[in-house]
């Protein structure tokens, strides 16, 4: 039996095994229930740390013990392995929404009948973000404007915000980044807007890194306003809303490492459920997949183009 066939016929006593590709921390994955079977290093002289090294990609693909690979998608060479991993019947976890190119994501999507790929969009699991997604439809219409203060810098953080905006306001259809003209150069208190999104529902999203250390979002509707952040969620002038919890993560096989991200643990556990039959569990929020990653990659690509050309850029 070849490795791909073995992955489709796991018995009930099988302990799911996962390989690491690149700079991926194994602690949270072990806590989720994965057995770490090896690591594909970025270079021949890289430190394999606490897992034996695979000589090359071919050795990893042929290892019938493996069910999945957790891959550092921020490295272009490793991102190029995604089609081969999926074609070999391996589940894939991208621990962060790495700034992959749209071409790399589309190449991974093009593999027919491939098993699941889960992306570690972590903010969607945070209680405040889940509460906003649940409360927004109660306003009687889509948001007209969203302002986000104190959002961290970097492409991975920007991808996380795009993922949240899609859950709150629908798909992003156009973007602008300085020095392009923005819908507003600054917020009323003078905080400089650095980039903006326009959604299919007509919402304008204004983003500034000022106002930290914790991010805060304000969703303005026709007749209401929702204030939200890690410190809590409330309707303007109303009581604080009870926060929706992350899925029950208490039943883990090993202690959860201090400071571990609950969203990454939830994503790793969801992928664990797909071993054998390939089906992810139904849960709220659902684990992010390739369509979510492609949507974020397209927006980030458009933001880079806007910053380079100084123009509004459509994402379609």
Q: Is the pLDDT of residue 201 over 70?
A: yes
In this structure, the answer to whether residues 167 and 71 fall within a common structural domain is no
Q: Quick one: tokens of 195?
A: 């980039």
Q: pTM for this one?
A: 0.91
Q: Quick one: tokens of 222?
A: 């026709």
Q: Quick one: tokens of 141?
A: 């219409």
Question: Residue 204 — φ and ψ, nearest 5°?
Answer: -100, 130
* pLDDT at residue 206, rounded to an integer: 98
| CA–CA–CA angle 273, 277, 279 (5° rounding) | 55
In this structure, the answer to whether residues 139 and 50 fall within a common structural domain is no
Residue 62: Cβ within 10 Å count: 13
More confident residue, 299 or 48: 299
How many structural domains compose the chain?
2
Sheet holding 35-40, edge to edge: 35-40, 17-21, 68-71, 91-94, 117-119
User: CA distances (Å), 38 to each of 5, 22, 44, 198, 201, in order?
Assistant: 20, 11, 14, 43, 46
The rounded distance, in Å, linking the Cα atoms of 145 and 94 is: 31
Task: With cut-offs at 50, 70 and 90, classify the pLDDT of residue 283.
Answer: confident
In this structure, the answer to whether residues 163 and 309 fall within a common structural domain is yes
In this structure, the answer to whether residues 198 and 256 fall within a common structural domain is no
pLDDT tens digit string along 143-196?
A: 999 999 999 999 999 999 999 999 999 999 999 999 999 999 999 989 999 999
In this structure, the answer to whether residues 204 and 263 fall within a common structural domain is no
Q: Which domain holds residue 91?
A: 3-122+250-285
Residue 247: Cβ within 10 Å count: 16
CATH number of the CATH domain containing 21: 3.40.50.720
In this structure, the answer to whether residues 172 and 98 fall within a common structural domain is no
In a domain, 46, yes or no: yes
Q: Is the four-CA dihedral 81, 83, 89, 95 of positive or negative sign?
A: positive
Residue 29, helix vs strand vs coil: helix
In a domain, 262, yes or no: yes
pLDDT tens digit string along 87-103?
A: 999 999 999 998 788 99
The rounded distance, in Å, linking the Cα atoms of 92 and 112 is: 15
In this structure, the answer to whether residues 57 and 183 fall within a common structural domain is no
CATH number of the CATH domain containing 200: 3.30.360.10
Most confident of 71-80, 110-119, 217-226: 217-226
In a domain, 266, yes or no: yes
The rounded distance, in Å, linking the Cα atoms of 59 and 14 is: 21
In this structure, the answer to whether residues 258 and 190 fall within a common structural domain is no
In a domain, 111, yes or no: yes
* pLDDT at residue 12, rounded to an integer: 76
Mean pLDDT of the chain: 90
In a domain, 264, yes or no: yes
* pLDDT at residue 262, rounded to an integer: 85
Q: Is the pLDDT of residue 14 over 70?
A: yes
Q: What 8-state DSSP symbol labels residue 315?
A: -
In this structure, the answer to whether residues 168 and 308 fall within a common structural domain is yes
pLDDT tens digit string along 30-79?
A: 989 999 999 998 766 666 666 778 989 999 999 999 999 999 988 888 99
């Amino acid at each position: 039996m070849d490795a791909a066939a073995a992955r489709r016929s796991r018995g009930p006593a099988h302990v799911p095994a996962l390989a690491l590709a690149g700079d991926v921390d194994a602690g949270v994955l072990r806590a989720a229930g994965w057995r770490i079977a090896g690591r594909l290093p970025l270079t021949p002289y890289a430190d394999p740390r606490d897992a034996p090294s695979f000589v090359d990609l071919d050795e990893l693909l042929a290892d019938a013990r493996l069910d999945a690979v957790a891959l550092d998608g921020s490295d272009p060479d490793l991102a190029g392995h995604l089609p081969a991993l999926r074609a070999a019947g391996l589940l894939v976890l991208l621990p962060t929404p790495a700034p992959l190119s749209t071409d790399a994501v589309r190449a991974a999507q093009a593999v027919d009948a491939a098993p699941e790929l889960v992306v570690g969009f972590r903010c969607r699991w945070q209680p405040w973000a889940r509460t906003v997604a649940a409360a927004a439809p109660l306003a009687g219409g889509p948001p007209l404007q969203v302002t986000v203060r104190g959002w961290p810098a970097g492409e991975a953080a920007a991808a996380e915000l795009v993922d949240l905006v899609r859950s709150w306001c629908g798909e992003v259809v156009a973007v602008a980044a300085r020095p392009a003209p923005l819908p507003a150069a600054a917020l009323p208190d003078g905080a400089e807007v650095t980039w903006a999104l326009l959604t299919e529902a007509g919402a304008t999203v204004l983003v500034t890194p000022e106002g930290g250390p914790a991010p805060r979002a304000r969703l303005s509707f026709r007749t209401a306003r929702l204030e939200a952040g890690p410190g809590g969620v409330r309707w303007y002038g109303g009581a604080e809303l009870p926060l929706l919890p992350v899925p029950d993560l208490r039943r883990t096989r090993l202690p959860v490492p201090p400071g571990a991200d609950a969203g990454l643990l939830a994503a790793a556990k969801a992928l664990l459920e797909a071993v054998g039959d390939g089906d992810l569990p139904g849960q709220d929020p659902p684990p992010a997949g390739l369509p979510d990653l492609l949507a974020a990659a397209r927006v980030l690509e458009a933001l880079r183009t806007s910053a380079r050309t100084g123009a509004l850029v459509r994402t379609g």
